[in-house]
Amino acid sequence: MHIKKPTIIKSAGNKPKKIEEFIGMVNSKTSEISIARMTSPAGWLEPAQKPDFDEYTFVLKGCVVVKTHDQEYSVNADEVFFAEKGKEVRYSTPQGAEYIAICIPAFSPDTVHRRE
């Protein structure tokens, strides 16, 4: 399969974030994995979540702040954060960031379990 362009997915959070899904439930009808490029503005914050998938966040530019139930991490360019399925996590980008999110199995609004 040759994927020539992503599908733009609506984001959660206090500000609009651009989500470009290349592989996943929407763009490629793939349920095993999703790969998306995120472009997140300064000051973006999303609700805490406890997903039914593993998520790898590979930061390309800027910094993604990840809060778990007991710790906070600043994940900078060329670094990766692994969020294990079933564990609570909350993402934010105080100064803005561009990053790749890889979810196994694929991200789904039904399996992310956000706390509003």
Q: Is the pLDDT of residue 86 over 80?
A: yes
Q: Could you tell me if 38 and 101 are in contact, meaning their C-beta atoms sit under 8 angstroms apart? A: yes
Please state the rounded mean pLDDT for residues 69-94: 97
Q: Which amino acid is at 36?
A: A
Q: Is residue 111 helix, strand or coil? A: helix
Q: Is the pLDDT of residue 20 over 80?
A: yes
When pLDDT is cut at 50, 70 and 90, the band that residue 115 belongs to is confident
Question: pLDDT tens, 40-55?
Answer: 999 999 999 999 999 9
Q: Could you tell me if 54 and 84 are in contact, meaning their C-beta atoms sit under 8 angstroms apart? A: yes
The pLDDT mean for the chain works out to 96
Q: Is the pLDDT of residue 116 over 90?
A: no
pLDDT at 2: 93
pLDDT at 1: 87
